[in-house]
Structure 1
């Protein structure tokens, strides 16, 4: 009873950074709920993700796009390709992101621009293009991937913190504008996840111990930990959620 609210059969989701890690985990989760998937990644293929999605009986469209180099027209064309080949676009997951670590006094313009361009600029213009389609269809779901650094300052990651704080603000701003179009805009704020972005932290024994010591759950998160929340935000079960930034952090922020 009530499980039909989580059903995504007949829906199409576009997930950025879908070849591995959190993006792959969320793409597979949405397919498990019935959605067809368009996976956007800078790599030329998403073979593993494709195989996992198709094994669930869902369609998979691979979009090879370098978000650092992509123009606004390129992003609009990617959204149109999803509509042309899969018939519609109901869900956008802005997951792709990069991080560059250095002391703020030494931080380079190149690293600042790269992080901001992928994490914030590309996310906004891809969302803008998707929302135009969703408005014509009568609604849709935008799910941004924020961070603990949407709430905190962090160490040695000024551009990442700025970009993820921007994602949180953008989530709220777009939710305000688009709720009237039946477009829900929300964000997931993962905690410390065992992904490529945290590999340097996990490789530093002292830093890893310090992080784990503050997480009440006592472990690093995994892509599977985001399955439930991404399905909630993508489905009718989250229809009255607008502008929320939902931490999935093992209790980090509660500490």
Structure 2
């Protein structure tokens, strides 16, 4: 019988997580590290990345280090990939989560704001795929994980540019999975909905919005970074060995329904 527990074990694996200082990136690094992988925690916030690395190392399962990078800078991402190869000898897992959202109507967007969002979200993913795809192609294995969003498939006013960038990531994932599959490399995306992170902190501060967004999910609550990090660790593991080109929804059922689940209710059946 297949040893299913071993499929989730990342012992002996190596990983790079971009965005590891906070939120979903931090949770992804922690989840992957807690399953046994060596992790390089990369972020523009070096102190935050170092703190994450220390927490992972303290588990005693694998070592973790930190590196400062700008996820919107293609040269920085390439330097990170080469550093990982030199330090780790191989790259089994690469995860990138950083994103920027400027909440404005499209007619009110400036070109500079558009470029800021697209350079980090969309172009950042493009550079991430190239820099980590090349060494994985040569070694003949690996799992690449990007971060999309349920906004790739459902929208609200003021999120058009952000949503376009996340939809673009989902399409890049499909294309890159097709290109990398013959080389034994899997490419996927995690696709969260409303998660309690720095990016969503301004929304959480408004009780009415916090409650409304929670009500859009079938679970009637916001998600935690750890719930998305767990999904990233799954996609990184051999338990997901036949999954590629996928955008794994971690959205509490938001995209499964048309609006808040406030329709007919039923009485629990009696015993």
- The answer to whether TM tops 0.5 is yes
Provide TM-score, normalisation by structure 1. 0.95
The equivalences for 1:188-203 within 5 A come to: 188-203=190-205
**Root-mean-square deviation (Å):** 1.3
Residue 209 of structure 1: how far off its partner (Å): 2.0
Offset from partner CA, 1:51-110 (integer Å, 9 cap, x none): 211012222221211223x2x333212100011112221111111111111121111111
Match of 2:67 in 1: 63
Match of 2:34 in 1: 32
Residue 44 of structure 1: how far off its partner (Å): 2.7
Contact 1:53 1:59 in 2 (8 A): yes
CA–CA distance in 2 between the matches of 1:175 and 1:66? 25
Match of 2:214 in 1: 212
Offset from partner CA, 1:113-168 (integer Å, 9 cap, x none): 11111111122112211111111211100111110111112321222111100000
Contact 2:173 2:189 in 1 (8 A): yes
Contact 2:194 2:251 in 1 (8 A): yes
The alpha-carbon distance between structure 1 residues 73 and 227, as it changes in their structure 2 partners (threshold 3 A), is closer
Residue 197 of structure 1: how far off its partner (Å): 1.1
Contact 1:61 1:82 in 2 (8 A): no
Contact 2:25 2:229 in 1 (8 A): no
Residue 7 of structure 1: how far off its partner (Å): 1.2
Offset from partner CA, 1:219-242 (integer Å, 9 cap, x none): 110011124321221011111111
Provide TM-score, normalisation by structure 2. 0.90
3-state SS of the aligned residue for 2:15? Answer: strand
Higher mean C-alpha deviation, range 39-48 or range 137-146? 39-48
Residue 39 of structure 1: how far off its partner (Å): 1.2
Match of 2:4 among 2, 6, 26: 2
CA–CA distance in 1 between the matches of 2:253 and 2:104? 27
Contact 2:18 2:71 in 1 (8 A): no
3-state SS of the aligned residue for 2:46? Answer: coil
Offset from partner CA, 1:195-227 (integer Å, 9 cap, x none): 111112212222222211221111110011124
The size of the alignment, in residue pairs, is: 253
Asked whether 1:106 is paired with 2:108, we answer yes
Q: Which has the larger radius of gyration?
A: 2
CA–CA distance in 2 between the matches of 1:100 and 1:110? 11
Contact 2:114 2:161 in 1 (8 A): yes
Runs of 4+ in 1 over 3 A off after TM superposition: none
In structure 1, runs of 5+ residues without a counterpart are none
Match of 2:50 in 1: 47
The equivalences for 1:76-225 within 5 A come to: 76-225=78-227
